[in-house]
Amino acid sequence: MKKFMNNPSWIFLLAIPFFLITSCKDDDDQPDPEPAKEIIIAVGASAADSAQLAFIDVEEEYTIIFEEGEFSFTNTLSMDGKSKVVIKGAGREKTFLDFSGQTSGGEGVLITNSNSIRIENLTIRDSKGDALKTKDCNKISFVNVGTIWSGEPSTDNGAYGLYPVLCTEVFIDNCFAYGASDAGIYVGQSDQVILKNCLAQGNVAGIEIENTTNADVFDNEATDNTGGILVFDLPGLTQNGDATRVYNNNIHDNNRVNFAPAGNIVANVPNGTGCMILSTKNVEFFDNTISENQFAGILISNYLFINDMPSDPDYDPFPAGIFIQNNTHAMTPGTVDVANQPADIQQIIGLLGQYGLDQPNILTDGLLMAADAVCIQEASATTFVNINAGDPTFMSVTTDITAHDCTKTRLPEITFDPF
């Protein structure tokens, strides 16, 4: 016995049962892993009903997953009053929510009165009306989402692709919009907006920021639209637009014939417009590449030029606080499409012809409260025309840009944590 006790191996042998008991006890005490908070929608005949039920019943912290494939809907897919929900597909080129057979509802997907909602990695196709509308939402994110209408863009297509309205903290990243008869990516009457890395193609307006405050629009491409990027302030809405920065975008070849339905405000946008700033306040437009937009690279206009009797007595139609700086311009002279322009735009083109002027990099109607409402700091080769529309004889057209040789206080970057 003494010899055994002097052998250190006995300590190891005695310890084995203890370690086994302890190990078993630790395993028994481990809590079961929580089940994944996921609702999976598989392709099939019941997918539309399953998706709508999920949109109704989903709880906080859940993810609704559309698997790879095509999902057909005949009604609007709607969600209301939800919080902290992710809606995702397998990829923008892999998951398609198809509304080509839609028989009821004004939108493809509609999300209202919700907080912290994220939609990602899917495409919404051929909706009867707007493709993806969010209204009265806080902290809404669109990431790698496509909205498309098949075939050649048409007046019969829905008005808007991505359409957040009356929302706060709107985050739009790496999205694609094609074929909208109004705006491919539209942000309206919202506050705190980041819109980046998107491609808007084949729409009337590629990207439109309307009556929205505190928006950053950058690193996007707008091409083959009627107008590339629009920043508008219109009468009769819940708020006025203010503080938008548009920078580092590639805005090129936006010469598509305007196919907006008659009566829409964007039906007045000339084809060949790179960027149009209409009646809004405090816009910075800088470090963009603007090329081969055949009417004008940047168009600055007063709503009174379109409608001299706005119905809103509190509406101020005069642009102010506009700062255009350090953009790169390129335009091939003599390529403007005259025949397919609105009548007043044909008149402007004819007027420029009378003065022997080509379509300019920057064009303004001159309806300003003061010249320094628009400050321009561009390269010396940048062409500029002010048609001075306040002169009914149109005898005051000028290419003198010196009245706009001023600067503005820079706007702050928009920052928030997207959901």
Read off the pLDDT of residues 3-62 as tens digits, 9 standing for 90 and up: 333 444 433 333 444 434 344 445 556 777 777 899 999 999 999 999 999 999 999 999
Q: Find the farthest-apart pair of alpha carbons in the chain and give their distance in angstroms, rounded.
A: 123
Query: Residue 194: which residues within 8 A CB-CB, separation 6 or more?
Result: 170, 171, 172, 173, 215, 216, 414, 416, 418
pLDDT at 14: 37
Mean predicted confidence (pLDDT) in 355-364: 93
The CATH code belonging to domain 38-323 is 2.160.20
Question: How far, in Å, CA of 172 to CA of 124, rounded?
Answer: 15
Is the Cβ–Cβ distance between 414 and 288 less than 8 Å?
no
What's the start-to-end Cα distance of the chain, in Å? 70
Cα atoms found within 13 Å of the Cα of residue 412, Cβ hemisphere only: 6
Q: Within a 10 A sphere around the Cβ of 23, how many other Cβ atoms?
A: 10
Helix (H, G, I), strand (E, B) or coil at 13: helix
pLDDT at 34: 75
- The least confident of 15-19, 108-112, 187-191, 227-231 is 15-19
Helices (H), 252-396: 303-306, 343-354
318 pLDDT more than 60? yes
Question: How far, in Å, CA of 227 to CA of 212, rounded?
Answer: 19
Q: Where are the domains of the chain?
A: 38-323
pTM of the model: 0.92
pLDDT at 141: 98
Is the Cβ–Cβ distance between 62 and 38 less than 8 Å?
yes
Q: Is the dihedral of CA 76, 77, 82, 83 positive or negative?
A: negative
Q: What is the chain's mean pLDDT, rounded? A: 92
Q: What is the pLDDT of residues 213-230, one digit of tens each?
A: 999 999 999 999 999 999
298 pLDDT more than 80? yes
